[in-house]
Amino acid sequence: MENLWNDNDAARYANEARAAGQPEALGLRVYTSRIIGQVADLVLHGGGNTSVKVTGADGEAIMHVKGSGWDLETIEAPGLPAVKLAPLHAARKGKKLSDPEMVALLRSNLLDSSAPNPSVEALLHAYLPFDFVDHTHSTAVLALANQDHSEEIMREIYGDRLAFLPYVMPGYDLSIAGADLFDQFPDCEGLWLKNHGLFTFGDTAKQSYDRMIDFVTDAENYLTAKGIALPGPESSDREIDPALAANLETVLRADNSPFAGGLALDFRSTPSIRRYLENDALETIALRGTATPDHVIRIKPFPLIIAANANTDDIAAALADFKTRYTAYFERNAPNASEPKVMLDAWPRMVLIKGAGLIGLGANDKAARIAGDLGEQTARIINAAEEVGTFQPINEADLFDMEYWSLEQAKLQKK
């Protein structure tokens, strides 16, 4: 992976921050957040988060951390709300917090009460004793982190440079588990989160960023050394069959559909996508779950699968099967939730067309494009993961908890 750090650009961001009366470190935080965010094989559509710790004008320790609803690619200083650090550290010694209590803690310690909610992983950023912390959902890392023997792979590649964390639900639990893990291995340079992604940290913006790029490059090189291809994002090279598109529109815009008021189709067909669709075990693999947990709020836990020559009756039958499967998924898992849940709509956000391509579905072009981007990345991840071993994301119960997590739903509502 290319390292995009440029000394002149970094100096410009630092100078602009100083001219605006902001810490130079905040300018550098904006800079490295953006060069992370512009790489689709690091983060997509609001994924990942970054932070920087600085000393306020009154000598108080504060942290600027990515705010919910912001994309790293376009983030500006207001997208990194400042929060007081001392109360966050004090809370670590107190009782376990529910996620709403965690959000209340973070909001009550914002320097600007009108600022966006800090990232749901803000406490982990706070507890890691480095000025700069970066978190991504790298494509190469996810191909390796979504393996049953993920820790063994991590050790083979990185030795003791990274510490391994089994899957933990994002939010308060992940923050505490990640902080405890670092306390056990204080010499590590990053955290490898099974089924989730990668954290790096450093005393400078460049050090944390360089570690992220180096570690992701190491993951890419590991795959290459095993003869496993992981192409970058590819441009679609085929068009959707107009008749199939018309058939999908007819079925998906039914009166009770979330797309009744508008439906956008984002069709993708690339060599990687077609390779994924040609997998003999497609119908099994596609039902295992999403490549990283938060994707479930965009594309549901599994896709709708149809044939390239499907007519309206075929699509309606496949949709009915999807709804039955989704309802059963909800009914299996809702009784185990910590609070009552109301089922979301049982309609797909991703369509896999055997032998042809995939479609991201949305009520508008932006939503469809987001689903399409996530579907395209998922195809590339699964292709590589299945060559490494077996693509094995988080289990259904954990996926349900993520899809129906109130904090994740709040992010979706804001967007």
Q: In terms of domains, do 254 and 124 share one?
A: no
Same domain, 25 and 103: yes
**Angle, CA 216 vertex, CA 278 and CA 277 arms, to 5°:** 5
Map tokens 């007519």 to a residue: 311
Q: What domain count does the chain have?
A: 2
Residues 352 and 309 in one domain: yes
Are 137 and 252 within one domain?
A: no
pTM (2 d.p.): 0.94
Identify the CATH number of the domain in which residue 67 sits. Answer: 3.40.225.10
**165 and 94 assigned to the same domain:** yes
pLDDT digits over 78-125, tens only?
999 999 999 999 999 999 999 889 999 999 999 999 999 999 999 999
For 350, the enclosing helix (H) or strand (E) is strand 350-353
| 414: enclosing H helix or E strand | helix 406-414
**Residue 50: what pLDDT?**
98
Looking at residue 280, its pLDDT comes to 94
Chain segment 33-80, per-residue pLDDT in tens: 999 999 999 999 889 999 999 999 899 999 999 998 899 999 999 999
Do 178 and 319 share a domain, yes or no?
Answer: no
**DSSP 8-class letter at 116:** P
**Whether 145 and 267 share a structural domain:** no
- The dihedrals phi and psi of 153, each to the nearest 5 degrees, come to -60, -45
- Could you tell me if 259 and 347 are in contact, meaning their C-beta atoms sit under 8 angstroms apart? yes
Which residue range forms the structural domain that includes residue 189? 7-225
Predicted local confidence at residue 414, as pLDDT: 52
Whether 390 and 149 have beta carbons less than 8 Å apart is answered as no
Whole-Å CA distances, 210 to 74, 127, 190, 355, 399: 20, 21, 12, 40, 32
Q: Can you give the CATH number for the domain in which 392 is found?
A: 3.40.225
User: Which uninterrupted H or E stretch holds 353?
Assistant: strand 350-353
Cα angle 172-343-404, degrees, rounded to a multiple of 5:
15
Q: Are residues 174 and 249 in the same domain?
A: no
Question: Which residues of the chain, if any, have pLDDT below 70?
Answer: 407-415
Q: What is the pLDDT of residue 21?
A: 95
Specify the pLDDT at position 69: 83
Q: Report CA 278 to chain centroid distance, whole Å.
A: 26
Q: How far, rounded to the nearest angstrom, does the alpha carbon of residue 92 sit from its chain's CA centroid?
A: 25
